[in-house]
Structure 1
Amino acid sequence: MNIFEALRQSHERQRDLLAQLIETSGDTPERKQLFQKIQQEIEAHERAEERHFYRPIMMDDNGIDPSRHGIAEHHEIDEILELLKETELSSPAWLVHAKELRHKVLHHLEEEEHKFFQMAGKILSQQEKQQLSAKYLRDYEEALAQ
Structure 2
Amino acid sequence: MDNIYDALRESHEVQRKLCRQLTRAKPGDAQAQEIFRALRIELAAHAAAEERFLYAQILLDDMGLKSSRHALAEHHEIDECVEELAKCRGKPDEWSGWVKKLSHEVHHHLREEERKFFQVSGKILNDRQKQSLATKYRKDLKRMREVVAP
Provide the TM-score with structure 1 as the length reference: 0.97
The verdict on how the C-alpha distance between 1:26 and 1:90 changes in structure 2, with shifts beyond 3 A counting, is farther
Deviates more, 1:33-42 or 1:83-92: 83-92
CA RMSD, 1 decimal: 0.8
Displaced runs of 4 or more, over 3 A: none
Alignment partners' CA distance in 2, 1:16 and 1:137: 19
Cα deviation, residue 90, structure 1: 4.4
Partner of 2:139: 138
**Uncovered stretches (5+) of structure 2, i.e. residues with no partner:** none
Cα deviation, residue 59, structure 1: 1.2
Alignment partners' CA distance in 2, 1:72 and 1:47: 13
SS state at 1:22 partner: helix
Partner of 2:39: 38
Cα-to-partner distance string for 1:27-70 (whole Å, 9 max, x where unaligned): 11100100000000000000000000000011110111110000
Percent identity between the aligned chains? Answer: 44
Cα deviation, residue 145, structure 1: 1.6
Provide the TM-score with structure 2 as the length reference: 0.95
SS state at 2:24 partner: coil
SS state at 2:89 partner: coil
Alignment partners' CA distance in 1, 2:32 and 2:91: 10
Alignment partners' CA distance in 1, 2:128 and 2:101: 38
Alignment partners' CA distance in 2, 1:48 and 1:35: 20
Alignment partners' CA distance in 2, 1:128 and 1:26: 43
Partner of 1:56: 57
Count of residues paired in the alignment: 146
SS state at 2:135 partner: helix
